[in-house]
Amino acid sequence: MQFSLNEDQLAVRDMARDFAAEKIAPYAIRWDEEKHFPVDVMREAAKLGIGGVYIRDDVGGSGLTRFDAALIFEALAQGCPTVSAFISIHNMAAWMIDAYGSDAQRKKWLPKLCTMDLLASYCLTEPGSGSDAAALRTRAVHEGAHYVLNGQKQFISGAGKGDVYVVMVRTGADGPAGISTLVVEGDTPGLSLGANERKMGWNAQPTRAVIFENARVPMANRLGDEGIGFKIAMAGLDGGRINIAACSLGGAQSALEKSLAYMKQRKAFGKRLDEFQALQFRLADMATELEAARTFVWRAAAALDRREPDATMLCAMAKRFGTDVGFEVANQALQLHGGYGYLSEYGIEKIVRDLRVHQILEGTNEIMRLIVARKLIEGAR
Active-site residue identified among 44, 185, 362, 366: 362
Q: Rounded to an integer, what distance in angstroms lies between the CA atom of residue 179 and that of residue 122? A: 15
From first CA to last CA, the distance across the chain in angstroms is 28
Q: Please indicate whether residue 34 is annotated as part of the active site.
A: no
Give yes or no for a contact between 204 and 32, defined as CB atoms under 8 angstroms apart: yes
- CA-based nearest residue to 94, from 58, 54, 57, 63: 54
Give yes or no for a contact between 51 and 45, defined as CB atoms under 8 angstroms apart: yes
Specify the amino acid at residue 28. A
Q: Rounded to an integer, what distance in angstroms lies between the CA atom of residue 197 and that of residue 156? A: 10
Instruction: Dihedral sign for Cα 158, 360, 177, 90, please.
Output: positive
Give yes or no for a contact between 182 and 222, defined as CB atoms under 8 angstroms apart: yes
Give yes or no for a contact between 254 and 186, defined as CB atoms under 8 angstroms apart: no
Q: Rounded to an integer, what distance in angstroms lies between the CA atom of residue 362 and that of residue 254? A: 22
Q: Rounded to an integer, what distance in angstroms lies between the CA atom of residue 148 and that of residue 161? A: 23
CA distances for 47 relative to 43, 62, 291, angstroms: 7, 10, 30
- CA-based nearest residue to 294, from 8, 13, 87, 11: 13
Active-site amino acid positions = 362
